[in-house]
Amino acid sequence: MQLFDVYPLFDINPVKAQGAYIWDDKENKYLDLYGGHAVISIGHSHPHYVKRLKDQLDQIGFYSNAVKMPIQQELATKLGKLSAYESYNLFLCNSGTEANENAIKLASFHTGRKKVIAFKDSFHGRTSLSLGVTDDAKLSALVNKDHEVVFVELNNEKDFLAIMDNSVCAIIIEGIQGVGGIHVPTPSFLKMIQSSCEKEGAIFILDEIQSGYGRSGNFFAHQDAEVEPHIITVAKGMGNGFPVAGVLIHPKIKASHGMLGTTFGGNYLACAASLAVLEVMEQEKLMENAKTMGNYLVEKLIKLDGVKEVRGKGLMIGIETITNSAAIRKQLLEEEKVFTGYSASKNTIRLLPPLNISKNEADAFLKAFENVLQKQLQTI
Nearer to ligand PLP, 119 or 369 (CB): 119
Residue 4's contacts (CB-CB under 8 Å, 6 or more residues apart) are: none
CA–CA distance, 220 with 83 (Å, rounded to integer) = 7
Buried b (16+ CB within 10 A) or exposed e, 296-309: ebbebbeeeebbee
Nearer to ligand PLP, 85 or 213 (CB): 213
CA–CA distance, 328 with 88 (Å, rounded to integer) = 43
Beta carbon of residue 122, minimum distance to ligand PLP (angstroms, whole number): 8
CA–CA distance, 310 with 303 (Å, rounded to integer) = 10
Instruction: Transcribe 92-124 into DSSP letters.
Output: EESSHHHHHHHHHHHHHHHHS--EEEEETT---
Nearer to ligand PLP, 178 or 265 (CB): 178
Q: Which stretch binds ligand PLP (CB under 6 A): 6-14, 122-130, 252-260, 332-340?
A: 122-130
Restricting to residues 13-72, which ones interact with ligand PLP according to CB under 6 A? none
Nearer to ligand PLP, 177 or 376 (CB): 177
CA–CA distance, 250 with 374 (Å, rounded to integer) = 50
124 forms part of the interface with ligand PLP (CB under 6 A): yes
Nearer to ligand PLP, 35 or 43 (CB): 35
Q: State the amino acid at position 188 in one-letter form.
A: S
Q: Which stretch binds ligand PLP (CB under 6 A): 90-98, 151-159, 190-198, 305-313?
A: 90-98
Distance of CA 348 to the CA centre of its chain: 17
Instruction: Give the sign of the dihedral formed by CA 40, CA 41, CA 46, CA 51.
Output: negative
Nearer to ligand PLP, 95 or 331 (CB): 95
Restricting to residues 96-115, which ones interact with ligand PLP according to CB under 6 A? 96-97, 100
Restricting to residues 219-258, which ones interact with ligand PLP according to CB under 6 A? 235
**Helix extents (H) in the chain:** 35-38, 47-59, 70-83, 96-111, 128-132, 157-163, 187-200, 268-283, 286-301, 325-336, 359-378
Beta carbon of residue 121, minimum distance to ligand PLP (angstroms, whole number): 11
Restricting to residues 144-183, which ones interact with ligand PLP according to CB under 6 A? 174, 178-179
Q: How many CB atoms lie within 10 A of CB 155?
A: 16
Buried b (16+ CB within 10 A) or exposed e, 42-51: bbbebeebee
347 forms part of the interface with ligand PLP (CB under 6 A): no
Restricting to residues 274-333, which ones interact with ligand PLP according to CB under 6 A? none
Task: Give which of 102, 143, 106, 91 is closest to 125, Cα–Cα.
Answer: 102
Nearer to ligand PLP, 100 or 218 (CB): 100
Q: Which stretch binds ligand PLP (CB under 6 A): 93-101, 197-205, 221-229, 306-314?
A: 93-101
Beta carbon of residue 180, minimum distance to ligand PLP (angstroms, whole number): 9
Instruction: Give the sign of the dihedral formed by CA 237, CA 107, CA 127, CA 320.
Output: negative
Beta carbon of residue 312, minimum distance to ligand PLP (angstroms, whole number): 13
Candidate list 56, 95, 340, 348; residue touching ligand PLP; CB under 6 A: 95
Nearer to ligand PLP, 122 or 347 (CB): 122
Ramachandran area for residue 138 (φ above 0: left; ψ -120 to 50: alpha; else beta): alpha
Q: How many residues bind ligand PLP (CB under 6 A)?
A: 14
Q: For ligand PLP, what does the binding mask look like between residues 186 and 225, x meaning CB under 6 A?
A: ---------------------x-xx---------------
Beta carbon of residue 221, minimum distance to ligand PLP (angstroms, whole number): 10
Beta carbon of residue 242, minimum distance to ligand PLP (angstroms, whole number): 12
Q: How many CB atoms lie within 10 A of CB 318?
A: 24
125 forms part of the interface with ligand PLP (CB under 6 A): yes
Q: Which residues bind ligand PLP (CB under 6 A)?
A: 95-97, 100, 123-125, 174, 178-179, 207, 209-210, 235
